């Protein structure tokens, strides 16, 4: 590499939610320029929530993402309930955990089978993958369908659900509906086990990066809706301290904010972080499968796909457990009246921790809102890994470099769109 300059340009980052590009320049073997460029115009969700009635917020934030609307709804209702001083019946809490299981299941199944798996088979798309691995693709679609069924039951529809509200849900599921869902979960468990074994057999690139993993940790359960914020390097704080330990900053090449741990730097959120920090919170049967399929904790980002598959199995088993233990609450939602207050919450979206903070006035109108999504928290970490990976990319053929770059970015499962094209690398040598 001595005496040479190379530039790698990815003009359009495909299969991500929004619009972005990648620019890499290497001079004399050193990366001198790296920009994960996010150039989609801002959507101003925080701004247009101001002045809205608090009761409107859960339905509005569900429109932020079509893949993880439950995460936005759950984080919003938890934060608003804390602002309004609302205590929720434990039986409603269990339904919310079931609701979240549906989202993890449909989101992870989509990512593993339709988006990431083609990378490990040298396929251009899931259409090509279906020719070689038809049974696996059909299995992924069945798992996603089961997750959608959970969301539809509790949310009224599987995309942008409207069933969750401050204090609970707009309606409670009927026993017959839960029995039908329980039967579907029984069938889904075989698919989930097959998925984990399939993914564990992928030939994953070997990487052992220095990464700080951040996730929630609960006293006695695998985290979804609640927990303290912890990290692999000693961070341990309540959700209320998030803004003191996590700082956002603007970079010139991105319309999305980057995040860092104050006094340290970038970090990783998502299923690999959750599993690394909470493997001891998995139920025994899922924990046994996890041990058979890898070493946890580990610092190889590419094993995120295995972590997602393990969480698919967990979501299926947890949803079944919650249905078996279900006792109908006395009413669908707790009654509440407006009051002034501020509330914050963190939940575990499929892609990692999601932070919401709301300030509500005495009239019940939102005075201020702040939302920190997992993908923006991962951006700086993605750039750091690309920086480490860049020299090896330049030693590879164009197809190999493209494939490895795609696989690394997709390992973070950035909030994706439905675009059908793939990354295109242009390698320029001067």
User: Residue 240 has which token pair?
Assistant: 């209320």
Residue-wise pLDDT tens digits, 349-392: 999 999 999 999 999 999 999 999 998 899 899 889 988 887 77
Q: For residue 351, give the DSSP letter.
A: T
CA 342 to chain centre: 25
Residue 51 pLDDT: 96
User: Residue 320 has which token pair?
Assistant: 């079944």
Residue 409: name the closest of 2, 11, 116 by CA: 116
**DSSP characters for 301-362?**
GGGHHHHHHHHHHHHHHHHHHHHHT----SSSB-------EEEEEEEEETTEEEEEEEEE-T
Band of the pLDDT at 418, cuts 50, 70, 90? very low
Is there a contact between 235 and 229 (Cβ–Cβ < 8 Å)? yes
All domains in the chain, ordered by first residue: 5-41+382-429 (no CATH), 45-378 (1.10.645.10)
User: Chain-wide mean pLDDT for the chain?
Assistant: 88
Mean pLDDT score, 115-120: 90
Is there a contact between 238 and 229 (Cβ–Cβ < 8 Å)? yes
Is 268 in a helix, a strand, or coil?
A: strand
**C-alpha to C-alpha distance for 319 and 323, rounded to whole angstroms:** 6
Residue 383 pLDDT: 87
Band of the pLDDT at 10, cuts 50, 70, 90? low
**C-alpha to C-alpha distance for 403 and 344, rounded to whole angstroms:** 40
Mean pLDDT score, 50-72: 92
Angle CA 321–236–208, to nearest 5: 85
Is there a contact between 15 and 6 (Cβ–Cβ < 8 Å)? no
Band of the pLDDT at 6, cuts 50, 70, 90? low
Position with higher pLDDT, 14 vs 172: 172
Residue 200 — φ and ψ, nearest 5°? -65, -20
Residue 413 has pLDDT above 50, yes or no: yes
Band of the pLDDT at 37, cuts 50, 70, 90? low
Q: For residue 413, give the DSSP letter.
A: -
**C-alpha to C-alpha distance for 259 and 254, rounded to whole angstroms:** 12
Residue-wise pLDDT tens digits, 82-103: 999 999 999 999 999 999 999 9
User: Residue 18 has which token pair?
Assistant: 């929004």
> What whole-number percentage of the chain has pLDDT above 70?
88
Mean pLDDT score, 310-332: 97
Residue 409: name the closest of 6, 12, 63 by CA: 12
Lowest mean pLDDT among 52-61, 80-89, 135-144, 205-214: 205-214
Q: How far apart, in Å, are the Cα atoms of 105 and each of 14, 163, 234, 316?
A: 23, 18, 30, 7
**C-alpha to C-alpha distance for 231 and 413, rounded to whole angstroms:** 20
Is there a contact between 372 and 92 (Cβ–Cβ < 8 Å)? no
Residue 66 pLDDT: 80
Q: pTM above 0.75? A: yes
How many CB atoms sit inside 10 A of residue 141's CB? 17
Mean pLDDT score, 182-209: 95
Residue-wise pLDDT tens digits, 391-401: 777 777 767 77
């Amino acid at each position: 590499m001595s005496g040479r300059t190379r530039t790698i340009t990815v003009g359009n980052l495909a299969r991500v939610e929004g619009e972005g590009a990648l620019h890499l320049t290497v001079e004399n073997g050193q990366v001198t320029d790296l920009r994960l460029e996010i150039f989609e115009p801002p959507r101003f969700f925080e701004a247009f929530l101001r002045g809205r009635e608090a009761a409107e917020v859960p339905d509005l934030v569900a429109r932020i993402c079509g893949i993880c609307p439950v995460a936005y709804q759950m984080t919003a209702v938890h934060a608003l309930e804390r602002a309004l001083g609302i205590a929720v019946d434990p039986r409603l809490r269990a339904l919310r955990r079931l609701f979240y299981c549906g989202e993890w299941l449909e989101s992870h199944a989509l990512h593993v089978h339709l988006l990431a798996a083609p990378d490990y088979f040298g396929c251009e798309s899931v259409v090509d993958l279906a020719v070689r691995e038809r049974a696996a693709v059909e299995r992924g679609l069945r798992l996603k369908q089961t997750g959608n069924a959970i969301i539809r039951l509790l949310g009224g529809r599987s995309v942008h659900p409207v069933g969750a509200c401050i204090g609970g849900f707009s309606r409670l599921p009927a026993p017959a509906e839960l029995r039908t869902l329980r039967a579907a979960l029984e069938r889904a468990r075989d698919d989930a086990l097959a998925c984990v074994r399939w993914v564990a057999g992928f030939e994953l690139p070997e990487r052992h990066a220095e990464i700080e993993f951040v996730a929630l940790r609960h006293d006695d359960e695998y985290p979804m809706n609640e927990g303290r914020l912890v990290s692999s390097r000693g961070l341990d704080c309540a959700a209320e301290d998030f803004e003191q330990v996590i700082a956002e900053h603007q970079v010139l090449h991105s319309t999305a904010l980057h995040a860092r741990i104050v006094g340290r730097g970038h970090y990783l959120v998502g299923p690999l972080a959750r599993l690394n920090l909470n493997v001891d919170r998995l139920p025994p049967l899922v924990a046994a499968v996890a041990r058979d399929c890898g070493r946890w904790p580990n610092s190889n980002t590419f094993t995120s796909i295995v972590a997602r598959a393990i969480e698919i199995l967990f979501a299926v088993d947890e949803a079944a457990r919650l249905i078996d233990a279900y006792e109908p609450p006395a009413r669908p939602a707790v009654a509440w009246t407006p009051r002034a207050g501020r509330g914050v919450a963190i939940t575990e979206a499929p892609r990692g921790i999601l932070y919401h903070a709301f300030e509500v006035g005495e009239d019940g109108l939102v005075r201020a809102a702040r939302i920190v999504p997992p993908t923006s928290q991962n951006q700086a970490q993605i750039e750091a890994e690309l920086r480490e990976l860049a020299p090896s990319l330049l030693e590879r053929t164009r197809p190999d470099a493209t494939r490895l770059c795609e696989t690394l970015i997709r390992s973070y499962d950035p909030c994706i769109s439905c675009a059908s094209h793939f990354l295109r690398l242009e390698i320029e040598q001067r």
